[in-house]
Structure 1
Amino acid sequence: MLDTLLPVLLFTALALAALGAVRRVRLWRQGRSSSVPVLKGLLRVPRRYLVDLHHVVERDKYISHTHVATAGGFVLAALLAIVVHGFGLQSAMLGWVLLAATTSMFIGSLLVAKRRRPPPSRLSKGPWMRLPKSLMAFSIGMFVVTLPTAGILPEGVFQQGLGWIAALVLAAIIVWGLGEMFFGMTWGGPMKHAFAGALHLAWHRRPERFSDKTGGEHRSTGLKALRLDEPDAKLGVETPADFTWNQLLGFDACVQCGRCEAMCPAFAAGQPLNPKKLIQDMVVGMAGGSDARYYGSPYPGKPVGEHAGSPFGPIVAREGTSLVDAETLWSCTTCRACVEECPMMIEHVDAIVDMRRFLTLEHGNTPNKGAEVLDNLIATDNPGGFDPGSRLHWAADLNLPLMADKKEADVLLWLGDGVFDMRNQRTLRAFISVMRAAGVDFAVLGNEERDSGDVARRLGDEATFQTLARRNIKTLAQYRFSRIVTCDPHSFHVLKNEYGELGTSETPATYHVQHHSTYISELVSANKLSFKAWKGGSVTYHDPCYLGRYNGEYEAPRDVLKALGIEIKEMARSGYRSRCCGGGGGAPITDIPGKQRIPDMRMEDVRDTGADLVAVGCPQCTAMLEGVVEPRAEIKDIAELVADALVIDAPVGKADSTRAAPALALEETS
């Protein structure tokens, strides 16, 4: 009986899965075109799955072992089941291998079941609660039916005596398992991520994230430019179908593990954003319907069941029901904590900025002070609306060398719009004193420098960003320098990762850009600086998102602090899991309310260490953390700590002139 029924069940499940796959692909193909190497991408899936994806998964050892046992067992068991029971290749050796694969899968299913008793709040419930049972059903059914093939039970055992009853029960168990594993993989259900996830790895929007050639960790974090000169081009994403088809595929690959939710600062602060639900809302919009069947955590303050959409309907509707509320999109700080944690390597931030672009460029709908800041950038080239000719007023006593006079220098110091903020001026003064103590050949653009465009781009105003960027690129092309150094991780990221796409053959925009902590670390390694012994209190270090997660720089700031003799008291969330200060992505400008402030939560992380001082490396982080109500730890930029510890071998007056001498001498010889 089973000899006849099992092949029918297997091939019926495969046929239905194939039909579901066609339907799924059609849903994805509603999106805009995107050129991807189809065959080459498919060939690279094994490496991307086993290396890059598991590089993220193995951060949680329990889940890593569970995934290896379950997924590895299922893939091998499914293939062998088709060969042995589908095509009837009865081999004792294959039978034993199939038994081992189903055993591995069963052990994995037990681990899945244990993880969900009780399930952590970040895990979706509903259909996901049946997944352990479905995994068990498939593994047990295939194990038992393979026992005769392996020679453990006699052939025809299920056709003798009460064997037909056992055969029917066994067939029912197998149907249950096949339904979830094959049918559900392409028609919807907990296993949907297996099919969509594999293809997402093959045709990822950012293939450069994968270690296909050289191995090791790769980064691709710069936003992709809009082609503003294309006629009739839609500026940003209005409907789910406005995403590229492989972005829709990426959304469909979500496993709803909730890692992004657990790391999101906006969600923790009670703002109306949950990155997991946002991705699921995009899936709902792609297929059409409402979020009523979403079984995870909702957006804070927004019940499930109130949102709906369709592939070609607006995501944020001006009237009526929206797929996503505008304030959800504006809650994001673009910190990339969600992207860093996602085991399926989904690009949440790209999607959010794409949707912001439409709201800003097409509707002019930027909340709170957003419109004012964008108007200031257009009128004065800085977000505060200050006189652009006053960019160097704070440094009147520093006699800063100008690129317009020198024409070339080893270091071009990018000042950023912190020049208009009295607190950040202290950081810039400290860093300039450090460079002069080290005899660095540097110069600044002065009034020629424009805003880097970071804020405009994150707020979705791609047009203003590209205008600012092209002006800066044109200015930089006039001068010769070895590197650009800046105290602002946001400017650092934009100059390093986002200007290049806007360059031309006449004015290329690829620069060697460094954060000031990295450059100071190099000066320390070259013995260009000497320090007094650290006599301050205990210190912790806050990783800026745009230096750490965006650019992978975690060690240089810590190396500098260690060179000062500081023993760092690390926060529980540090490094790639650092909690955002709340200052990125234009969040302080859009100012979406929540139950608490993100910087207040970060300062609680500081208090847990008992540290007296927080070392920072970003003007946004400084502003956000110093905005926390006292009593709290003192906030100092790394440059300030280094400047305070400098040992100058000459009397103060002479030391001051000595530090200024290299720059002044270069001015005289230029």
Structure 2
Amino acid sequence: MLETLLPILIFAALGLAVIGAWRRVRLWRQGRPSAVPLLKGLAALPRRYLVDLHHVVERDKVMSNTHVATAGGFVAAAVLMILVHGFGLAQGVLGWLLLAASATMFVGSLFVARRRRNPPARLSKGPWMRLPKSLMAFSLSVFAITLPAVGILPADFGHWLLALALAAVVVWGLGEMVFGMTWGGPMKHAFAGALHLAFHRRAERFGEGNRSTGLKALNLDDEAAPLGVEKPADFTWNQLLGFDACVQCGRCEAMCPAFAAGQPLNPKKLIQDMVVGLAGGSDANYAGSPYPGKPVGEHHGTPHGPIVAREGKALVDAETLWSCTTCRACVEECPMMIEHVDAIVDMRRHLTLERGQTPNKGAEVLDNLIATDNPGGFDPGSRLHWAADLNLPLMADVKQAEVLLWLGDGAFDMRNQRTLRALVKVLRAAEVEFAVLGTEERDSGDVARRLGDEATFQSLAKRNITTLAKYRFQRIVTCDPHSFHVLGNEYGELGGQYEVRHHSTFIAELYDAGRLAFAPWKGGSVTYHDPCYLGRYNGEYEAPRNVLKALGIEVKEMERSGFRSRCCGGGGGAPITDIPGERRIPDMRMNDVKESGAELVAVGCPQCTAMLEGVVDATAEVRDIAELVADALVARPAVEAVDASRRNAGKTAEEVI
């Protein structure tokens, strides 16, 4: 009987899966066109899955091994099951391989069941709680029905009562693992996820050491293109595909600073709301953590309805979008490589450009950028007032220099002016030939772009690019990771290609070249706060630590450091939109500092400095790396002595003489 039932069940499930796949693809294709190399993407899928995705998954070794056993066992078992039981090819080694694959999958499913016995809060419950049983049903039933096929059990083992029982379990397993993969349910992520990796919106993310973090530019000359995203169908089709790939693991939720602060944002819930909008319906069936302070079941939407309602409820409340600091912690942690920040900024663009609904001080800041080229509304002619005694060389006078020092809008802030003065001192100690733009420099446009005002960003960027084109320089150096990121990663799409260095990286290079020497550190214990736009956005974690090491400082790392550093709360225009929560993000970060036991926190970003120094009753001093270096500089003869000692290291006395 099993010989008759099994092929029918298998091919019926496959047929329904194909129908479901076609239906799913039609949902994704409601989105706007996006040119992707289909064959090249499919060819790259195995490496993207086995290497790039698992680089993220293997951060949790137990779950990484669980995923390898369960997912790998399932893929192998599904293919072999079709061959062995669908086409009757049980002879030879295929049947034994099917036994091994299904057994491996069963072992993996035991670990999944253990994980779900008392799941962490970040994991979605609901249908996901039945997944371990479905995995076991599929793997055990496939194993059992294969035993007679390889001769371990007698061929007449399939007594009709047992055959019917096994068939029922097979139907259960096939229903969840094959049919449910394309029609909905926990296994949906397997089908959508594979295609998402193949047709990812940022194919340049894949490959060892590759990064792609710059926002995509809007074509403002195309009158037919929407200004941002108003409804789910305004996303590109492969963005919708990416939302559908979400496995609801909640890693993004666990890392999100806004969620931890009790602000109305949960990146996992946001992605699931986009999935609701993709198919139409409400969020009533969502089984994960809600947005803080917002109950589940009140939001609803359709593919062609507004995401954010002008009045009443839609898919998402506007304050959810404005809570994001754009720190990319969610993107960094996502094993499916979903681009949450891209989606949030796309939706902000519509609210800002089409509706003019930038909250709190947002509109004022954008007006200032348009009127004065800086977010504070300061007189552009006062950009160099802080440096009146420094006699800084101007590019307009010298025309070319080794380094163009980009001041950023910290030039208008008294606290950051101390950092800039320290950096100038360091550059002069190293005899670096540098110059500044002075009043020709405009805001880089970072704040405008993150607030969704793409038009103002592009206007600022194009004027800066025109200015920079007049001069010759080898590289741009800046204290501001936000300017560093925008100049290096987002101006290129508009025609500005530059070699850009963060000041910590450049100082490390100067030290390694023997152009700087430092007196021994005599201060207290130090920890280092990684700026999001230097670390997660640009992968620079070592240079600042190398500088601190050169100063003789042994860094006391916080629990959240490196790629998992907690945001200071200053990015993405968050201090401007100022969405309230249960606590402040910088307060949480300074508590991390306190738990490290450090007396001083070294930073490398003016926004981080401002946010962390604004914490009341902080237990640690906040200082920029440039300030620490400037204080430790030794005179030039000492530098030459250090150079000599480095050259002579390892030589005998006779060789030195």
Q: Report the AA paired with residue 149 of structure 1.
A: A
State whether structure 2 residue 271 is matched by structure 1 residue 279: yes
State the Cα deviation string for residues 100-145 of structure 1 (Å, max 9, x = none).
0000000000000101120110000000000000000000000000
1:615 aligns with 2:602: yes
Once the two structures are aligned, what percentage of the paired residues are identical?
A: 80
Q: CA deviation at 1:231?
A: 1.9
Kindly provide the CA deviation profile for residues 335-363 of structure 1, in whole angstroms up to 9, marking residues without a partner as x.
Answer: 00000000000000000000000000000
2:515 is matched with: 528
Instruction: Report if the CA contact (8 A) 2:590-2:618 is conserved.
Output: no
Which residue in the other structure is 2:200 paired with?
A: 204
Q: Per-residue CA shift, 1:167-198, capped at 9, x if unaligned?
A: 11111111000000001100000000000000
Whole-angstrom distance in 1 between the partners of 2:121 and 2:399: 59
* Letter in structure 1 aligned against 2:265: L
2:651 corresponds to: none
Partner of 1:44: helix, strand, or coil?
helix
Question: Following TM superposition, by how much is the alpha carbon of 1:233 offset from its aligned partner in structure 2, in angstroms?
Answer: 2.5
Which of 490-499 and 35-44 deviates more?
35-44
Residue 149 of structure 1: how far off its partner (Å) = 1.4
CA positional deviation for 1:151: 1.4
**In structure 2, C-alpha distance between the alignment counterparts of 1:92 and 1:528, rounded to whole Å:** 70
Pairing 1:102–2:114 present? no
Q: 1:560 matched to which residue of 2?
A: 547
Matched, 1:53 2:53: yes
Q: 1:73 maps to which residue?
A: 73
**SS of equivalent residue, structure 1 residue 116:** helix
Change in 2 beyond 3 A, CA 1:80/1:619: same
1:541 is aligned, of 528, 546, 550, to: 528
Counterpart position of 1:233: 225
CA distance in 1, matches of 2:500, 2:424: 17
Candidates 331, 334, 337, aligned match of 1:339: 331
1:338 partner amino acid: C
Q: Over aligned residue pairs, what C-alpha RMSD do you find?
A: 0.8
Instruction: Please report how far the alpha carbon of residue 245 of structure 1 lies from its aligned counterpart in structure 2 after TM superposition.
Output: 0.2
CA contact (8 A) 1:434 1:642 kept: yes
Partner of 1:665: none
| TM-score for the superposition, normalised by structure 1 | 0.95
* 1:244 aligned residue (215, 236, 249): 236
1:490 alignment partner in structure 2: 482
Cα offset, 1:650, TM superposition = 7.0
Distance in 1 (alpha carbons) for counterparts of 2:181 and 2:117: 24
How many Å separate the matches in 2 of 1:119 and 1:83?
36
Which residue does the alignment assign to 2:421?
A: 429
What displacement does 1:5 show? 0.3
Q: Does 1:169 align with 2:161?
A: no
Match of 2:654 in 1: none
Matches of residues 37-186 of structure 1 in structure 2 within 5 Å? Answer: 37-158=37-158, 163-186=159-182
Three-state SS of the structure 1 residue aligned to 2:109 is helix
Residue 127 of structure 1 aligns to a residue whose secondary structure is helix
More deviation, 9-18/149-158: 149-158
Which residue among 288, 300, 312 is the counterpart of 1:308?
Answer: 300
CA displacement, residues 500-522 of structure 1 (integer Å, 9 cap, x when unaligned): 1011xxxxx10000000000000
Q: Secondary structure at the match of 1:257?
A: coil
DSSP 3-state at the match of 1:553: coil
Counterpart of 1:187 in structure 2 is: 183
SS of the residue aligned with 1:292? coil
1:548 Cα deviation (Å)?
A: 0.1
| Cα-to-partner distance string for 1:542-597 (whole Å, 9 max, x where unaligned) | 00000000000000000000000000000001000000000000000000000000
- The corresponding residue for 1:442 is 434
For 1:374-411, what per-residue CA distance to the aligned partner results, in whole angstroms no more than 9, with x for missing partners? 00000000000000011001100000000000000000
Q: Does 1:628 align with 2:615?
A: yes
Supply the distance in 2 between the matched residues of 1:613 and 1:226 (Cα, whole angstroms). 42
Asked if 1 retains the 8 angstrom alpha-carbon contact of 2:429 and 2:636, the reply is: no
4+ residue runs of structure 1 moved beyond 2 angstroms? none
Q: Which residue number corresponds to residue 32 of structure 2?
A: 32
| Contact 2:263/2:323 (<8 A) preserved | yes
Kept in 1, the 8 Å contact 2:504–2:547? The answer is: yes
User: What is the CA deviation profile of residues 417-440 of structure 1, one whole-angstrom value per residue up to 9, with x for unaligned ones?
Assistant: 000000000000000000000000
Cα distance in 1 for partners of 2:286, 2:316 equals: 14
Structure 1 CA distance for aligned equivalents of residues 593 and 354 of structure 2: 41
Question: Where in structure 2 are the equivalents of 1:258-657 lying within 5 Å?
Answer: 258-503=250-495, 509-649=496-636
The answer to whether the Cα contact below 8 Å between 1:73 and 1:102 also exists between their aligned partners in 2 is: yes
State the Cα distance separating 1:92 from its structure 2 match: 4.2
- State the Cα deviation string for residues 459-484 of structure 1 (Å, max 9, x = none): 00000000000000000000000000
Q: How many angstroms apart in 2 are the aligned matches of 1:545 and 1:409? A: 29
Shift of 1:640: 0.2
CA contact (8 A) 1:109 1:135 kept: yes
Secondary structure of the corresponding residue to residue 473 of structure 2: strand
After TM superposition, give the deviation of residue 90 of structure 1 in Å. 2.1
Distance in 1 (CA, whole Å) between partners of 2:139 and 2:224 is 54
Gap regions ≥5 residues in structure 2: 639-657
Q: Tell me how far apart the structure 2 counterparts of residues 246 and 443 of structure 1 sit (CA, whole Å).
A: 44
The AA in structure 1 aligned to 2:290 is P
SS at 2:93's partner residue?
helix
Q: Choose 88-97 or 234-243, whichever is displaced more.
A: 88-97
Distance 1:80 1:102 in 2: 10
For 2:497, the aligned partner's letter is T
Kindly indicate whether the alpha-carbon contact (under 8 Å) linking 1:333 and 1:586 is maintained by their aligned counterparts in 2.
Answer: yes
Structure 2 counterpart of 1:34, which letter? S
Query: Does the CA-based 8 Å contact 1:316-1:322 persist in structure 2?
Result: yes
